[in-house]
């Protein structure tokens, strides 16, 4: 019998998304073709769903489902349907962010230990953070120690100073998550982009980090604008998106896209096209 990654009991495991299903559903709904692309690593892979892993038992899947539903209804859907950037939240938001970023940290930790590229001192910090988050998610503790959760719904980027050519499209039409360590700052982060809603679990901040109006309280509160983040994590995130934008789509995949567009007369109204229009304005401003 396999072992559940969270509760550690030997139970049948479910096919679990690391990033919740509703994020992939939204990206497909916003796409003119109704498909997903393979993400920042493989733009030539066309998919209908996000990756699933045998990670959690049915009971632990249910632990996460209530917070996922509330986040989708109170934050994610209003953000995509009406551009909402400010909202009230309860304890469910911290739980939701922990549940997503714990999955990322758990899977990344497995890889870090196998590769043995990092010092034991670094791995110990990540292992302890995973343990703290696990205990919190299981209800064995009511806090997450010195760890902080943050959230930043991306606003429409209209300025001409963006280092990315297509920032609106790249953030709002993508999903990615990873754990990152900054040796120079002794800083540790876990982050995820949920189609434009950025969530962060900061294990240890960098000495020069600035996170204004992004902190998520365990007990609830409100997220208001303006928000400001100044962190090497954001620079790294932008670099990853810039690298992914350099990957060219094959002619075969271009033909599939054209064929899908021909079959869908309303494709020009898809939100992903609106994001690209904003980005074309950015490029015009930069050239002007």
Section 178-196 average pLDDT: 96
CA distance linking residue 26 with residue 20, whole number of Å: 11
Specify if 67 maps to a domain.
Answer: yes
Please state the separation of Cα 255 from the chain's center in Å. 29
Instruction: Name the pTM for this structure.
Output: 0.89
Specify if 66 maps to a domain.
Answer: yes
Question: Quick check: 243 pLDDT over 90?
Answer: no
Which domain covers residue 204, as residue numbers? 13-244+265-287
Residue 156 binned pLDDT confidence (cut-offs 50, 70, 90)? confident
Contact (CB, 8 A) for 76 and 23: yes
Taking the CA atoms of 89, 91, 95 and 101 in sequence, report the sign of the dihedral they define.
positive
Specify if 4 maps to a domain.
Answer: no
Specify if 254 maps to a domain.
Answer: no
pLDDT tens, 245-266?
Answer: 775 555 565 455 556 555 665 5
Specify if 92 maps to a domain.
Answer: yes
Question: Quick check: 16 pLDDT over 90?
Answer: no
pLDDT tens, 89-107?
Answer: 999 999 999 999 999 999 9
Q: Which of the 8 DSSP states describes residue 212?
A: E
Specify if 28 maps to a domain.
Answer: yes
CA distance linking residue 262 with residue 19, whole number of Å: 31
Specify if 213 maps to a domain.
Answer: yes
Domain count across the chain: 1
Specify if 227 maps to a domain.
Answer: yes
């Amino acid at each position: 019998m396999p072992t559940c990654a969270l509760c550690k009991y030997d139970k049948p495991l479910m096919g679990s998304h690391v990033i919740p299903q509703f994020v992939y559903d939204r990206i497909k709904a916003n796409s003119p073709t109704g498909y997903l692309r393979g993400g920042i690593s493989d733009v030539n892979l066309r998919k209908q769903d996000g990756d699933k892993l045998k990670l959690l038992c049915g009971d632990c899947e249910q632990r996460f489902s209530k917070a996922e539903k509330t986040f989708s209804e109170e934050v994610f859907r209003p953000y995509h349907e009406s551009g909402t950037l400010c909202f009230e939240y309860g304890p469910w938001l911290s739980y939701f962010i922990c549940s997503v970023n714990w999955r990322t940290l758990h899977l990344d930790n497995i890889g870090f230990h196998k590769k043995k590229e990092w010092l034991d001192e670094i791995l110990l910090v990540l292992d302890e953070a995973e343990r703290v988050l696990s205990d919190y998610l299981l209800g064995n503790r009511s806090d997450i120690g010195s760890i902080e959760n943050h959230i930043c719904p991306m606003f429409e980027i209209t300025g001409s100073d963006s280092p990315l050519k297509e920032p609106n499209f790249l953030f709002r039409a993508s999903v990615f998550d990873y754990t990152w360590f900054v040796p120079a700052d002794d800083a540790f982060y876990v982050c995820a982009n949920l189609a434009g809603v950025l969530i962060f679990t900061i294990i240890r901040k960098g000495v020069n980090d600035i996170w204004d109006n992004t902190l998520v309280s365990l007990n609830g509160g409100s997220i208001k604008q303006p928000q400001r983040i100044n962190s090497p994590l954001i620079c790294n995130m932008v670099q990853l998106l810039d690298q992914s934008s350099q990957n060219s789509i094959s002619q075969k995949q271009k033909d599939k896209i054209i064929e899908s567009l021909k079959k869908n007369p309303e494709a020009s109204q898809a939100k992903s096209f609106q994001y690209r229009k904003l980005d074309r304005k950015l490029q015009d401003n930069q050239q002007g």
